[in-house]
A and B are shown apart, each in its own frame.
Chain A
Amino acid sequence: MKPSVASLYQAVELQQEIPPLLIGERANANGSKKFRELLLADDYESCLKIAVEQEQKGAHIIDLCTAYAGRDEMADLTTLVRLCAGGLKAPLMIDSTTPEVIEACLRIYPGRAIVNSINLEDGGVNIRRVCRAAKKYGAAVVALTIDERGMAMSADDKLRVARAIHTIAVDECGLRPEDLLFDCLTFTVGSGDNTLRDAALQTLEGIRRIKAELPGCLSVLGVSNISFGLAPAARRILNSVFLHEAVAAGLDAAIVDAARVLPLARISTEDRQVCLDLLHNRQVAGEKDPLMRFIDHFSTASNTAEDEEQESTRPPEQQLFHKVLNGDKDGLEDLLAILRERFRPIDIINQILVPAMRHVGELFGKGEILLPFVLQSAEVMKGSVTLLEPFMDRTDGGSATRILLATVQGDVHDIGKNLVDIILSNNGYTVYNLGIKVPAETVIEKARELRVDLVGLSGLLVKSAIVMQESLPQYRDAGLTVPVLLGGAALTPKFVAESCVPNYPGPVVYCSDAFAGLKAVREFEEGRLQSTRYDSAVAVQPMKPGVRDAVVERSNPVPEPPFIGRRYVQDIDPEALFPLVNTQALFRGRWGYRRGKMSAQEYRQLIDGTVHPLYQDLQHRAVAAGWIQPRVSYGYFRCHSRENDLHVEAEGREYVFTFPRQGEPPFLCIADYFKSAEEGGDVAGFFVVTIGALIGEETARLYRENAYHDYLMLHGFSVEVTDALAEYWHAVMRRELGIGAALGDVQDAVTQQYQGSRYGFGYPACPDLDVHRPLFEFLKPETIGVTLTENMQMVPEQTTSAIVVHHPQAKYFAV
């Protein structure tokens, strides 16, 4: 078993898959003024809050230290340990040097704690007592490399003291090597003291040697000591770079302020180089020593980790630029009031805000920032413009390029179009957003009336691509010539170039995402926007993955369902769906938290520190507010296949589902997986599942209120919870059919590690939504609140439908 510690609620591995284990350092009366003041006021509840906050910021373990002159450490620490035992998910690190206090805390803590710490300062008295207590209560122990001579400075001394501690703790007191976390105690490289110039190197080497020579033992480090004496903003950067170096040397755990660890990608190359030169004590001929270079660099450089003091000394126009860049809305009103004394509102927008958003777009294009952060920047832009509008003339901004946006007729999906709206309107353009299910006639009428410069059309499903194709001749016949931008998941450059461009006199342009839309608008302004072109001679046709078996087995048994006909289910606990949510698709795909240029460690920190807490918060809020109302209409029906058709008996009638067949080998069709009448017929399952309309209403409210970031988060969450419900119900149906064991994990579901398949309507094996017509006639999902639009899409959006196939060879394929 991997060495772990535990709280009442969870076990945490000491060696994280992607190190380091983060130990929160703020619940410390010596290290945090805020914590100390709360403790001095006997405000234990607020002390607990500091612990909880760190957990939310990504700390895996919380260090708790109440030793302070004049306080009763025994009373304080035992009280807080009790509070934390119930109120904190993260396991505790009991930080004390008093054996009685440590023993008392271990006795009452209902998990496996870590003791911080033991050393050999007193020649070996306390260490034995604490180790025996740790052995008795099953705790892990932090061991500092200190002996009677003091803190070990060189790598040799660090290893020597560690060996001595190892002998006592393991050989004498019976602890296991993996119960020990050695802390090599780094000295600062910021003091200018000649004997400490190589302090970082000695510590890194100490970590390497202890890990190599005391096998099984772990290492921990209070990282921020490396930068004592330096300026706060520079410290944060140096600490982050040092942490990275220490992990590379083998560090397992770090005592840090989890909220202040910077991902390496957010540190500029120059900043990083200056830090590395200081840590590695690199002298460069003809230049100052590395510490002086470090201090010079950070006294002038505008570093990525802006600190507050520095922030307020910047000119206000730069402050606003950085607020947009960092998605920081605090103090916007005051800052804009100052700026308005010097600039016209329209100039603040055009000279500061728009260039800032342009810069954000460029960073996104280079993969340096992620979509959620772009949306936070857009919120600052929008908030600024809203604050400036009362001071603007009506004519201001009248010359901006005007764009009409619409989701096409019959299509209810608006997230894509709304992202385009957010990006364009917050880059200074005038956007008219007509909403969803907009008929071509309305687009034509509004385009004329509003004298727009471009039209943007959006739509998710295959059917919507056809609607776009068919509406372009209508636009042409109505006399429109303005460029048309097309976006949507089912579109390809080939389809746009070959099927859309020829039907319209103006440019028709495929846009893969909102930023491609922004690029197209800029090209329009520069007079060089051109229709999408597609050269089939050089273009690569995407492969068509899928089942290769050409022969579908005919002798498979037909399972007996528990009932024939339709049933409704409404009593599903939303919490039962969360374990089936595909968090990878949610975080990376829906939310845009892609790894990009981050290292595995930085990405893990982003996920643990930012994304996962956000996800958990959404779960809690969704359950508390009742946003998720899972409802199912499903059933099992006798059926038989005839070529591409599936004949389904329901309520004394026969319904025919016509499925498309692949145009190339192995020429599959969903109907192939069912037996013909001659073969004795078969059984098909169908379902329509929805999580209801409430969550969509809440999502729409966030969009109306310009909470762009939360809008994207909640929308993505709603889509993935809907999919989790489909996954959940598919598993129920497999169980009812007797063809499925217990639910596997999400990865198993992704790769279809189960018998049979579910084919969603509107997806690659069956892109045609017309099969919804017969399906709705006998599943009657109107009872659970689901209806169809004129082109067969389901409302609410958070709904999904499928045919459940039991045939063992049935897996995803594309026609």
Chain B
Amino acid sequence: MSETTTERHICANCGYIYDPAAGDPMNSVPPGTAFSDLPEAWVCPMCYASTDQFDLLD
């Protein structure tokens, strides 16, 4: 896997961490999905913040 496909991102609003290894079952996102490949309409499964509210964590 390239670097971007494993990079975790953290929600600045609530602290939820999107980890590509786990995906996001709450939004039906399968494991292995890079943050940059999330659908445009994707929001934080915990607080509904949009992707621009996320910071690169690693």
* Interface residue ranges, A against B (CB under 8 Å): 540-543, 545-548, 582-585, 588-589, 594-596, 600, 746-747, 750-752, 764, 812, 814
**Does A545 lie within 8 Å of B45, measured CB to CB?**
yes
Contact assessment for A543 and B27 in the assembled complex, using a CB-CB cutoff below 8 Å: yes
**Across the interface, do B40 and A540 meet the contact criterion of CB distance under 8 Å?**
yes
Assess whether A543 is in contact with B14, with CB atoms less than 8 Å apart: no
Q: Is there contact, CB below 8 Å, between B24 and A595?
A: no
Given A588-B55, A747-B17, A750-B15, do A542 and B48 touch, yes or no (CB 8 Å)?
A: yes
> Can you list 29 residue pairs at the A/B interface with Cβ under 8 Å?
A540-B40, A540-B41, A542-B41, A542-B43, A542-B48, A543-B39, A543-B41, A543-B42, A545-B43, A545-B44, A545-B48, A546-B45, A548-B28, A582-B14, A583-B15, A585-B12, A585-B14, A588-B10, A588-B12, A588-B55, A589-B12, A594-B12, A746-B15, A747-B15, A750-B15, A751-B16, A751-B46, A764-B48, A812-B46
Contact A541 B13 (CB under 8 A): no
How far does the alpha carbon of A764 sit from the alpha carbon of B48 in the complex, in Å? 9
Q: Do residues B26 and A547 form an inter-chain contact, with CB atoms below 8 A?
A: yes
User: Are A595 and B55 also in contact (CB < 8 A) when A543-B43, A746-B15 are?
Assistant: yes
- With A545-B24, A545-B27 as given contacts, are A595 and B43 in contact (CB-CB < 8 Å)? no
Residue B21 is within 8 A (CB to CB) of chain A in the complex: no
Which residues of B are in contact with A by a Cβ distance under 8 Å? Answer: 10-17, 24-28, 39-46, 48, 50, 53, 55-56, 58
Could you tell me if A814 and B15 are in contact, using CB atoms closer than 8 angstroms?
no
The answer to whether A589 touches B41, judged by C-beta atoms less than 8 angstroms apart, is: no
In the assembly, what is the distance between CA of A543 and CA of B39, in Å? Answer: 9
Q: Which residue of B lies closest to A592 (CB)?
A: B12
Rounded to whole angstroms, the CA-CA distance of A478 and B53 in the bound complex is: 39
Complex CA–CA separation, A746 to B42 (angstroms):
23
Measured between beta carbons, the chain B residues less than 8 angstroms from A583 are 15
Known: A540-B41, A542-B42. 6 other contacts (CB 8 A): A540-B40, A542-B50, A543-B41, A545-B45, A546-B45, A596-B55
Q: Considering the chains assembled together, what is the distance between the CA atoms of A594 and B12 in angstroms? A: 7
Q: Which residues of B contact A540 (CB under 8 A)?
A: 40-41
Residues of B contacting A546 in the complex (Cβ-Cβ under 8 angstroms): 26, 45
Measured in the bound complex, the distance between the Cα atoms of B10 and A548 in whole Å is 23
**B13 contacts which chain A residues (CB < 8 A)?**
585, 588-589
Instruction: Determine whether the beta carbon of B56 is less than 8 Å from that of A545.
Output: no
Residues of B within 8 A of A747 (CB): 15, 17
Q: Which chain A residue shows the least CB distance to B14?
A: A585
CA distance in complex: A541, B40 (Å): 9
Assembled-state Cα–Cα distance A543/B43 (Å) = 6
Which residues of the other chain, B, contact A746 by a CB distance below 8 angstroms?
15
Asked whether A545 lies within 8 Å of B41 as measured between CB atoms, the reply is no
Main secondary structure of the interface of A (DSSP, over half): loop
CB distance from B35 to the nearest CB of A (A): 14
* A585-B12, A750-B15, A750-B46 known; A595 vs B56 contact (CB < 8 Å): yes
Given the complex, which residues of B lie within 8 Å of A595, measured CB to CB?
Answer: 55-56
- Shortest distance from the beta carbon of B48 to any chain A beta carbon, whole Å: 6
Q: How far is the CB of A684 from chain B (nearest CB, A)?
A: 23
CB distance from B19 to the nearest CB of A (A): 11
Contacts of B24 in A (CB 8 A): 545
Q: Is the interface of B mostly helix, strand, loop or mixed?
A: loop
Q: State in angstroms the CA–CA spacing of A751 and B26 once bound together.
A: 11
**A470 CB to nearest chain B CB (Å):** 24
Inter-subunit contact A750/B48 (CB<8 Å): no
Complex Cα–Cα for A582 and B15 (A): 7
A750 to B14, CA, bound (A): 7
* Cα distance A595–B53 in the bound complex, in angstroms: 11
Q: Which residues of A contact B17 (CB under 8 A)?
A: 747
A715 CB → nearest B CB, Å:
16
A542 vs B58: C-alpha distance in the bound complex, in angstroms? 26
Closest to B40 in A: A540
Inter-chain contacts of B50 with A (CB < 8 A)? 542
Distance from B9 Cβ to chain A, minimum over Cβ atoms (Å): 10
The docked-state distance in angstroms from the alpha carbon of A583 to that of B10 is: 12
Chain B residues near A547: list those with CB within 8 A: 26
Q: How far is the CB of A586 from chain B (nearest CB, A)?
A: 9
- Looking at the assembled complex, report how far the CB atom of B58 sits from the nearest CB atom of chain A, in whole angstroms: 6
Residues from chain A with a CB closer than 8 A to the CB of B41 are 540-543
Rounded to whole angstroms, the CA-CA distance of A543 and B46 in the bound complex is 12
Residues in A with CB closer than 8 Å to B28 are 548
- Which residues from A are CB-within-8-Å of B15? 582-585, 746-747, 750
Q: How far is the CA of A600 from the CA of B16 in the complex (A)?
A: 18
Residue from A540, A543, A588, A600 having most chain B Cβ neighbours under 10 A: A543
Hey, which chain A residues are within 8 Å of B43, CB to CB? 542-543, 545
Known: A542-B43, A543-B27, A543-B42. A589 touches B14 (CB 8 A): yes
Inside 8 A of B55's CB, which chain A residues have their CB?
A: 588, 594-596
Select from chain B the residue with minimum beta-carbon distance to A541.
B41
Pair B27/A750 contact, Cβ less than 8 Å: no
For residue A543, which residues in chain B have a CB less than 8 angstroms away from its CB?
Answer: 27, 39, 41-43
The reply to whether A545 and B26 contact each other, CB–CB distance below 8 Å, is yes
Residues of B contacting A600 in the complex (Cβ-Cβ under 8 angstroms):
56, 58
10 nearest CB pairs, A to B: A584-B15, A588-B12, A545-B45, A545-B26, A595-B55, A545-B27, A589-B13, A589-B12, A540-B41, A543-B41
A584-B46 contact in complex given A543-B27, A545-B27, C-beta closer than 8 Å? no
Q: Which residue of A lies closest to B50 (CB)?
A: A542
CB distance from B8 to the nearest CB of A (A): 11
A588, closest chain B residue (CB): B12
**Separation of A548 and B46 alpha carbons in the complex (Å):** 14
Interfacial chain B residues near A541, Cβ < 8 Å: 41
CB proximity of B29 to chain A, nearest CB, Å:
9
Bound Cα distance A589, B13 (Å): 5
Distance, CA A513 to CA B39, complexed state (A)? 24
Shortest Cβ gap from B20 to chain A (Å)? 16
Return chain B residues, CB-CB under 8 Å to A542.
41-43, 48, 50
A-side contacts of B26, CB under 8 Å: 545-548
User: Which chain A residues border B45 with CB–CB below 8 Å?
Assistant: 545-546, 812
In the complex, which residue of chain B has the Cβ closest to the Cβ of A603? B55
Which residues of the other chain, A, contact B10 by a CB distance below 8 angstroms?
584, 588
State how many angstroms separate the Cβ of B52 from the closest Cβ of chain A: 10
Q: How far is the CA of A585 from the CA of B11 in the complex (A)?
A: 8
Q: How far is the CA of A588 from the CA of B48 in the complex (A)?
A: 16
Give every chain A residue within 8 A of B58 (Cβ-Cβ): 600
The interface centre, meaning the residue of B26, B40, B53 with most chain A CB atoms within 10 A of its CB, is: B26
Which residues of A lie under 8 Å from residue B11 when comparing CB positions? 584-585
How far is A595 from B52 in the complex, measured between Cα atoms in Å?
12
Question: Which of B10, B12, B16, B41 is most buried by chain A, counting CB atoms within 10 A of its CB?
Answer: B12
Q: How far is the CA of A541 from the CA of B50 in the complex (A)?
A: 11
For B16, the chain A residues whose CB sits under 8 A away are 750-751
Q: Name the CB-closest residue of A to B53.
A: A589
Instruction: Give every chain A residue within 8 A of B42 (Cβ-Cβ).
Output: 542-543
A582 vs B42: C-alpha distance when bound (angstroms) = 23
Give the complex CA separation of A588 and B16 in angstroms. Answer: 12
Closest beta carbon of chain B to A461's beta carbon, Å: 14
Q: Nearest Cβ in chain A — how far from B42, in angstroms? A: 6
Which A residues are in CB contact (< 8 Å) with B14? Answer: 582, 584-585, 589, 750
For the complex, give the distance between the alpha carbons of A812 and B11 in Å. 16
Q: Give chain A residues whose Cβ lies under 8 Å from the Cβ of B56.
A: 595, 600
CA distance A594 to B10 in the complex (A): 10
Complexed CA–CA distance, A585 and B17 (Å): 11
Question: Cα distance A545–B39 when bound, in Å?
Answer: 12
- Nearest to B24 among chain A residues (CB) is A545
**B48 and A814 contact, CB distance less than 8 A:** yes
Q: How far is the CB of A730 from chain B (nearest CB, A)?
A: 15
Q: In angstroms, how far is the closest chain B Cβ from the Cβ of A550?
A: 14
| A802 CB → nearest B CB, Å | 15
A589 to B14, CA, bound (A): 7
